[in-house]
Amino acid sequence: MNVLTLVNILQIVVSVALIILVLLQRQGSGLGALGGGSTQFFSDRRGLEEFVFDLTVILTMIFIGLAIMSFLV
């Protein structure tokens, strides 16, 4: 197994995890608030919601790093 194959497998795993985490995000936030989907624009994240958001940001950075690494290898 070469490095490129390992990077591609890791990128697939991270992308599936990102899809799951984005689907777990709270409904009614984000761009939906601009069209009247929510009464609040900003709310405090607490507990599990904050953990899911932070993990989404971290996995996004890992995904971008793997994409750059895939391009360079």
Q: Cα–Cα distance between 7 and 40 in angstroms, integer?
A: 40
Q: What is the mean pLDDT of residues 25-36?
A: 58
Overall pTM surpassing 0.85 (yes/no):
no
- Domain boundaries of the chain, sorted by first residue: 3-72
Is pLDDT at 30 greater than 80 in this prediction? Answer: no
Is pLDDT at 17 greater than 70 in this prediction? Answer: yes
Is pLDDT at 31 greater than 60 in this prediction? Answer: no
Is pLDDT at 26 greater than 90 in this prediction? Answer: no
Ordered alpha helix ranges (H), 1-73: 3-24, 48-72
